Every structure is written in C-alpha cells, then in structure tokens.
Amino acid sequence: MKTATLIAELSAGVTGEAGPDFKDGNLPPSYEKAMDPYAKRGDKAGAKVCKNLSGMVKAVLFPENFSRWNEIFSSSKEIQAESVMVIGFEFDGESNLPEINALAHFEVQVNDTFSEEVLREVEERAGESLGEAVNFYWEFSDNPYKDWDGSLINNSGIEVSVSD
C-alpha cells in the first residue's frame, strides 16, 4: 500500500431539497459574516469570500460508492478531505446559499500499482467516475436547523484527479 493525494473538483454545486435551505432568512451568523465583504463590495470581494466560505464546505470520499473500489483503495472506510478550498461562487436566485466551485484534497491509502492512468482505466471498466463517490457539503457550527442536510447533491459534476 502507498499514500496518494487525490483532488476532487466540484463544479457549480448547489444545495439539494434535503433541508429548508434557509429560505426563511434565518441564516447562520457565521455564514452572514463570511458573506459580509460581498454585501459591501460585490464581486470585488470574491477572493475574500471564497476564503471565508472554504471553512464552511467539507468533503468526504465513500470508496464503497464506487463499484470497483477494491481495485484502487486498501479499505472501503470513508475518508474526510484534508482540506477544501472554495474557488468560486455565484447566486442562482433560487437559494440563499451560493452555487460554488471547490477543490478537496484527500490523502488516501491506495494499491501499490495506483496511478492516474490506472484510475482512468478502472473508471472506464466500471462505466462510472470516482467523482460519484465524493460528497461535498455545507457545515455551519451555528446552524439553526439541527436536522438540515447541507449536501451539495445537485452539481455539474465532480472530477477526481491524482496530484503529483
């Protein structure tokens, strides 16, 4: 076994229907504070807001959600991202939370023969992408809804690559 760094890129993730989506305007104070530069300076504050939001977005990899996980990973145990970085955001008008683009870095135990090429071959044989085993989600320490599910289930795709 060896350790590899996988990078998962989320494109235009948006919240799903699993929770109230804060439509009543009862947003977590931490989120409102993170968005404050945007309220004051608009798009000019984009980099600052992305940095602020990065601490509120998490990612997890569920190897067993990929049918051929055992050809890549040494275990089917879920893996939390080491870090998540929001690299873009946009409001779609349907949610109080923005659509985001984000990168997640995972340190994973893989089989000795693992490489980017092996990953692509396994994905082709499986007829699916390893990105389907990654879940990005909002996590607010001061969330007023205890049963709210912040999973970013509606998205334009999650692509996984191997970091050199």
**In sequence order, what E strands does the chain have?**
2-13, 57-61, 79-80, 83-90, 99-110, 134-138, 158-162
Torsion of CA 84, 90, 95, 96, to 10 degrees: 80
Please answer whether residues 4 and 72 qualify as being in contact, where contact means their C-beta atoms are separated by less than 8 angstroms.
Answer: no
Q: What is the pLDDT of residue 22?
A: 66
Widest pairwise Cα distance in the chain: 51
Domain count, the chain: 1
Q: pLDDT truncated to tens, each residue of the chain (164 aa)?
A: 888 888 888 876 654 443 446 666 778 889 889 999 998 998 899 999 999 999 999 999 999 999 999 999 989 999 999 999 999 988 776 777 888 889 999 999 998 889 999 999 999 999 999 998 999 988 888 887 777 778 877 777 788 888 86
Dihedral sign (CA 129, 68, 72, 115): negative
pTM, rounded to two decimals = 0.87
* Boundaries of domain holding 76: 2-162
Q: What is the pLDDT of residue 19?
A: 45
